[in-house]
């Protein structure tokens, strides 16, 4: 006897939608159904925002930061170990938020190598000197504990014992706030010897630059911390092999480090649910120029630029006909013309 459904029965099932559901179920059972790709991006909900004090409406100090969820279960995250943290970072799809966009899980994993007697270092590039960029500054002055907690977690993932935050020389107030937050973390037992009772030792230092644009380049930045002229080094060797003080070093961006605790708390898959393939997560966007409301805002990756400007900036001054072009990533990138 032939298997299947009669023509009349098939029409009836198609009309009711049951046939397509049955086929979908059969495909899923066979492992053939792929999860439908997301096609709409943007409109990030407040509950999904990582930077909850971006505009400085709340206290930046430790008590206020903890009320917003910072330092929550950080001890548990550390005790889960290096491999677990690296796995979550890889699952999240987080890429460097400083411009290069290198996969963070992979980059941090380069530091996982047998101990050869040299200490390992994390260097956070807070030398935000590109015209039009102002996101890292907002993190440091309004959410400094998010960055400090991120340094600790990233340090554990890399096996580093110290972090140097290299901050732009012009950011005087931000450096003062950051140092105050670091002092609070030491006093609370979150940094220094036996962080949070985990047995892990980790220190964080603030190093102020002198306003040299070239020190945004990672090896020039390392030279500057060492007290030398901020000039780029020839590569190889790369910093992961011979970096700060001749030791294995990873240089990464403020925002990249600051999102790590939330990714570990909420899971890499949660972060990866935003954006599209190779462009996952949320992101701080700095929008300035001829828009009605210039701002820095956290949004979903892959949001169309027009939607971003309309939703958060009230559109272009005088209407979209006045727009000539958009600079999508700082002054060193090509322009995107209106048409």
DSSP 43-64: ---GGG-S-TTTTS-S--SHHH
Write out the residue range of the structural domain in which residue 179 sits: 46-269
Could you tell me the strand order of the sheet in which 203-208 lies?
Answer: 203-208, 162-167, 121-126, 249-253
Instruction: Specify burial of residue 198 (Cβ count, 10 A radius: 0-12, 13-18, 19+).
Output: middle
Structural domain tally of the chain? Answer: 2
**Span 138-158, average pLDDT:** 97
Question: Of 214, 240, 269, which one is at a domain's C-terminal end?
Answer: 269
State the pLDDT at residue 33: 53
- Whole-number Å distance between alpha carbons of 69 and 14: 50
What are the Cα distances from residue 78, in Å, to 203, 232, 331?
15, 34, 39
Peptide bond before 4: cis, by omega within 30 degrees of 0?
no
- Average pLDDT along the chain: 88
Judge if 126 and 254 occupy the same domain. yes
Judge if 210 and 314 occupy the same domain. no
Q: Please tell me the pTM assigned to this model.
A: 0.86
**Span 59-80, average pLDDT:** 97
Report the CATH number that the domain containing residue 116 is assigned in CATH.
3.40.50.11540
Q: Would the pLDDT of 284 be above 90?
A: yes
State the pLDDT at residue 26: 40
Q: Are 166 and 125 in contact (CB under 8 A)?
A: yes
- Whole-number Å distance between alpha carbons of 54 and 115: 39
Q: Would the pLDDT of 116 be above 80?
A: yes
Q: State the pLDDT confidence band at 115, using cuts at 50, 70 and 90.
A: confident
- Whole-number Å distance between alpha carbons of 282 and 213: 27
Structure tokens at 58: 């709340």
Q: Strand 121-126 relative to strand 249-253: parallel, antiparallel, unpaired?
A: parallel
**Span 180-205, average pLDDT:** 97
State the pLDDT at residue 35: 60
Q: Would the pLDDT of 234 be above 60?
A: yes
Best-predicted range by mean pLDDT (15-19, 115-119, 159-163): 159-163
Greater model confidence, 70 or 102: 70
State the pLDDT at residue 34: 55
- Whole-number Å distance between alpha carbons of 286 and 127: 16
């Amino acid at each position: 006897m032939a298997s299947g459904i009669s023509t009349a029965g098939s029409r009836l099932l198609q009309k009711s939608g049951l046939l397509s559901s049955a086929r979908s179920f059969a495909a899923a059972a066979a492992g053939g159904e792929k999860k439908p790709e997301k096609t709409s991006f943007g409109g990030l909900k407040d509950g999904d925002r990582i930077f909850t004090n971006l505009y400085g409406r709340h206290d930046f100090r430790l008590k206020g930061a903890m009320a917003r969820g910072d330092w929550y279960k950080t001890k548990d995250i550390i005790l889960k170990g290096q491999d677990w943290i690296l796995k979550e970072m890889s699952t999240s799809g987080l890429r460097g938020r400083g411009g290069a966009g290198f996969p963070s899980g992979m980059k941090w994993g380069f530091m996982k190598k047998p101990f050869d007697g040299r200490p390992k270092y994390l260097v956070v590039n807070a030398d935000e000197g590109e015209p039009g960029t102002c996101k890292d500054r907002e993190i440091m002055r309004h959410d400094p504990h998010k960055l400090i907690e991120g340094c600790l977690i990233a340090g554990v993932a890399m096996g580093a014992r110290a972090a140097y935050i290299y901050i732009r020389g012009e950011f005087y107030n931000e450096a003062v706030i950051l140092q105050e937050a670091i002092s609070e973390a030491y006093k609370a037992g979150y940094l220094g010897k036996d962080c949070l009772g985990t047995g892990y030792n980790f220190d964080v230092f603030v190093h102020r630059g002198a306003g040299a644009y070239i020190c945004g380049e990672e090896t020039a930045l390392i030279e500057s911390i060492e007290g030398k002229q901020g000039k780029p080094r020839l590569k190889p060797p790369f910093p992961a092999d011979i970096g700060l003080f001749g030791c294995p070093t990873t240089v990464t961006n403020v925002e990249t480090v600051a999102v790590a605790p939330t990714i570990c708390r909420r899971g890499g898959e949660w972060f990866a649910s935003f954006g599209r393939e190779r462009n996952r997560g949320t992101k701080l966007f700095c929008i300035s120029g001829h828009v009605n409301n210039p701002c820095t805002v956290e949004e979903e990756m892959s949001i169309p630029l027009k939607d971003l400007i309309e939703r958060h900036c009230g559109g272009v001054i005088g209407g979209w006909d006045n727009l000539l072009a958009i600079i999508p990533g700082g002054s060193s990138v090509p322009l995107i013309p209106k048409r």
